[in-house]
Amino acid sequence: MDFFSSQTESLSALFAPRSIAVVGASSNPQKIGGIPVDYQRRFGFDGALYPVNPNAERIQDLRAWPSLRAIGQPVDLAILSVPAALVDAALDDAIEAKVKGVVLFSSGFAETGAEGTAAQARLG
């Protein structure tokens, strides 16, 4: 595989995913963890959609998974909708599950002060 093919494949996971997992998924379509699930369903995403929430069996009429690793299928894109305290564990889970791309929706980082700024810097 040449450089451009691998770059195109990498970007496809973000911009044209075949499967999306929403970590921190919510049954409430107005919450930050519920919006991505609702939008993918309403606006015609035709790939696999995996809500991830260890405290729910179903999210918005879809089977929910306790973790990314529990899905047991390839995940192109994981949307992490978790508080700052859970980001490291969610990223570790994504790495273990071999997720190709991650989008992070979180708070509790630089906007909260020095400790949050340091936590943000550790993310890279």
Tell me which residue range forms the domain holding 21.
Answer: 17-123
Q: How many residues does the chain have?
A: 124
* Partners of residue 106 on adjacent β-strands: none
Count of the separate structural domains present in the chain: 1
Asked whether residue 71 is domain-assigned, the answer is yes
**pLDDT, one tens digit for every residue, the chain (124 residues):** 555 555 566 788 889 999 999 999 999 999 999 999 999 999 999 999 999 999 999 999 999 999 999 999 999 999 999 998 899 999 999 999 999 999 998 777 767 777 767 777 777 7
Close Cβ partners of 101 (under 8 Å, ≥ 6 residues apart): 10, 13, 14, 17, 76, 77, 78
CATH of residue 64's domain is 3.40.50.720
Asked whether residue 2 is domain-assigned, the answer is no
Q: Are 77 and 100 spatial neighbours (Cβ–Cβ below 8 Å)?
A: yes
Q: Give the pLDDT of residue 49.
A: 98
